[in-house]
Amino acid sequence: MGKPSFKDVFHNARVTLLGNAMLLELENVNKTFSRSGHPIAAVQNFSYCIEPSQFVAVCGPSGCGKTTLLLICGGLLRPETGTVALYGHDLYSLSPEERAAIRSAHIGFVFQQFHLVPYLNVVDNVLAASLGLRLEHAMEQKQMRQRAIELVERFGLSDRAEHLPTELSTGQRQRVALARAMLNRPKILLADEPTGNLDAENRDVVWEHLRKFAVDDRSVLLVTHDAAAAARADKVVHMEAGQRLNTIS
Ligand SMILES: Nc1ncnc2c1ncn2[C@@H]1O[C@H](COP(=O)(O)OP(=O)(O)OP(=O)(O)O)[C@@H](O)[C@H]1O
Ligand SMILES: [Mg+2]
């Protein structure tokens, strides 16, 4: 049997995918920005594989390229060279529409600056993640709303369910962004400093949810500059000046 097309992968989003394939595989990825005519090598010759049910932390100092790497992994920033493959399919060889569909179904993203929709309340912000799935049936839509409400509760935000992002603290907004990224049960959750604005209690709650998420065919890739937090992951990838150093299991 040949390799399934991305269309098949997308339509089978809710079933176990492609047994042995690596969940996410980066090969020789490079991304250079230019500032005032000077090149900034944000990610250099980066190769790495993420298997199902792994919880991986990328750790490194500010400016070393963590966010750039995560955006590349999420299909949001095309590298100059190298490939990023989800279940063996190169994300950047897809059309923008296909890539958007794959991202909606398989990839959850927590942005460092959250990017919540300012005019939607907490539950609707979480629910917004399901728009890309184009759910047609009222029953599916109802179930998705119920899941959004449960996630809001799970992250301790029930009493803020109808508040707008401007009415929330930074840590509360961060938790809304996490709930939104988990809504579609993506195969990979990419989280940029997901506990950076949280107090110790909420940090532990979020960490626990992330860990529970990385089971079976799902994985988590988070970035942080907090080495102590990163040490709690299954694997730690150290990054410096755009390059991958060692990986500690
Ligand atoms: N759009 C851009 N244009 C120009 N330079 C950029 C751009 N985005 C990032 N950079 C530069 O690329 C390098 C890596 O940035 P990146 O945001 O990936 O770092 P980071 O490790 O996430 O840092 P932090 O821990 O502060 O979030 C930095 O030197 C940054 O200034
Ligand atoms: Mg960053």
- For a substitution probing ligand 1, which of 36, 38, 64 has the most ligand atoms within 8 Å of its CB? 64
Helices (H), 33-95: 66-73
Bridge partner residues of 243 (DSSP): 240
C-alpha 197 – ligand 2 centre gap (Å): 13
CB-based burial, 97-136: b 16+ in 10 Å, e otherwise: ebbebbbbbbbbbbbbebebeeeebbbebbbebbeebeee
For residue 145, being part of any structural domain is answered with yes
Task: Tell me what pLDDT residue 14 has.
Answer: 39
**Which residue has the least CA distance to atom 27 on ligand 1?**
62
Whether 213 shows a pLDDT value over 60: the answer reads yes
For residue 241, being part of any structural domain is answered with yes
For residue 13, what pLDDT band results from cuts at 50, 70 and 90? very low
Closest CA to 132 of 106, 167, 165: 106
For residue 1, being part of any structural domain is answered with no
What confidence tens digit (pLDDT) does each residue in 77-129 have? 999 999 999 988 899 998 888 898 889 889 999 998 999 999 999 999 999 99
How many structural domains compose the chain?
1
For residue 225, what pLDDT band results from cuts at 50, 70 and 90? confident
Pocket of ligand 1 (CB under 6 A): 33, 35, 40, 42, 60, 62-68, 112, 225
Query: What CATH number should be reported for the domain holding residue 203?
Result: 3.40.50.300
CA–CA dist 214, 189 (Å, integer): 8
**Which residue has the least CA distance to atom 1 on ligand 1?**
33
For residue 89, being part of any structural domain is answered with yes
For residue 15, being part of any structural domain is answered with yes
Domain that holds residue 46: 6-248
For 173-211, give the DSSP string. HHHHHHHHHHTT--SEEEEESTTTT--HHHHHHHHHHHH
Looking at residues 224-232, what average pLDDT do you find?
84
C-alpha 77 – ligand 1 centre gap (Å): 13
Task: Tell me what pLDDT residue 22 has.
Answer: 79
Task: Tell me what pLDDT residue 230 has.
Answer: 85
